[in-house]
Amino acid sequence: MIRISKKVEYALMALKFISNSEHKLVTAREISDKGNIPYDLLSKILQKLKNENILISNQGTNGGYSMNKRPDEIPLFSLMNVIDGETAIAECLMDNSVKDCCLTDSCSIKNPVTVLQKEVEELFKKKTISDFV
Amino acid sequence: MIRISKKVEYALMALKFISNSEHKLVTAREISDKGNIPYDLLSKILQKLKNENILISNQGTNGGYSMNKRPDEIPLFSLMNVIDGETAIAECLMDNSVKDCCLTDSCSIKNPVTVLQKEVEELFKKKTISDFV
DNA sequence: TGAAATAGGACTATGTTAGTCCACATTTAA
DNA sequence: TTAAATGTGGACTAACATAGTCCTATTTCA
Ligand code: FES
Ligand code: FES
């Protein structure tokens, strides 16, 4: 199955929310409440986005998050990588796939699968967060 | 994560193998051995393909499988649906998604996600098995 | 100091995917 | 007519990934 994880969906919703609140900090609680998103889970996601310099965070009372990049500077592809880690269309294509796929040698379709991988990547790289805002 | 399941990969390998053995029946055992694919799992997959009229099967001694469609008549998209069932880029977009996504109402990004869904579908519909053979 | 916020590790629950096992049905060749 | 070769198909288990929870810091401000 091909899908966008809940986490990525939450990230998109959060980024949309923050983008639309220019010039004022937005708290995780706020996003969680308005978007019906589990607070703890959302916190983790926002933390990751902050660590990747997509968001800026301010701790303490009156703290919150704000954008550190324009939505059109954030490809969906990298968002997905940030949130869910390495993304590849087939297991064996993943960089970290040291866990040697038993097919590594016998796979007869690796080339066309690699081509498809490229095409999907292309699509997800062209999409940016601005398409979701 | 976005990926082609092992099952679909096995199906592609099998279809390639069968396509390249024109005019002679191919047994599940044969494909399993040559492709390093778990026999039982492969059997299930071939059965599904047969039930969807992608393959023709012949039981009994000297039995085996042969193609019932040309590779270019089988879109990757439908192969994936046959093997793994309903395919959608986000949970809530799936037809069978009666299990009401808690976000159904509050989701702020359903439209753009739907657009993306369409685009991915498009890509997987254009690809056919002939691209893997 | 204490409340409001982010930071982050550890854990659990749930669901999906991959793989296995077993009994049965069909066909053919000996 | 029987045995072997093959496909059919249900039920089960194992392994893994995703989603979600819990708890304890740490930072900041009033
Ligand atoms: S082993 Fe990865 S495409 Fe086949
Ligand atoms: S609930 Fe599905 S796109 Fe948001």
Write out pLDDT tens, residues A19-36. 999 778 999 999 999 999
Q: Is residue A77 part of a domain?
A: yes
Determine the structural domain holding residue B106 and report its residue range: 6-131
**What's the pLDDT tens digit per position in A67-87?**
999 999 999 999 999 999 877
**Mean pLDDT, rounded, for A59-69:** 96
Per-residue pLDDT band for A96 (boundaries 50, 70, 90) equals very low
Asked if residue B49 is part of any domain, the answer here is yes
Asked whether residue A92 carries a pLDDT value surpassing 70, the answer given is no
- Number of domains chain B is built from: 1
In a domain, B1, yes or no: no
Q: What is the pLDDT of residue B98?
A: 41
- Is A127 contained in some domain? yes
d(CA A41, CA A35): 13
Q: Is there a contact between B107 and B63 (Cβ–Cβ < 8 Å)?
A: no
Amino acid at B68: N
Please answer yes or no on whether B108 and A17 come within 8 Å at the CB atom. yes
The pLDDT value given to residue B97: 44
A87 sits within 7 Å of strand C by its CB: no
Q: CB-CB: which of B13, B103, B112 is closest to A109? A: B13
Beta carbon of B107 within 6 Å of any ligand 2 atom: yes
Whole-structure pTM over 0.85, yes or no?
yes
Q: How far apart are CA B19 and CA B100, in angstroms?
A: 42
- H or E element in which residue A64 lies: strand A64-67
Q: For the segment B87-106, what is each residue's pLDDT rounded down to a tens digit?
A: 778 766 655 444 445 555 66
Find the nucleotide nearest B25 (Cα to C1′): D6
Q: pLDDT by residue (tens digit) across B38-90? A: 999 999 999 999 999 999 999 999 999 999 999 999 999 999 999 998 777 87
Yes or no, beta carbons of B16 and A91 under 8 Å apart:
no
Rounded CA-CA distance A62/A64 in Å is 7
Flag whether A1 is in a domain. no
- Residue B80 is part of a domain; what is its CATH number? 1.10.10.10
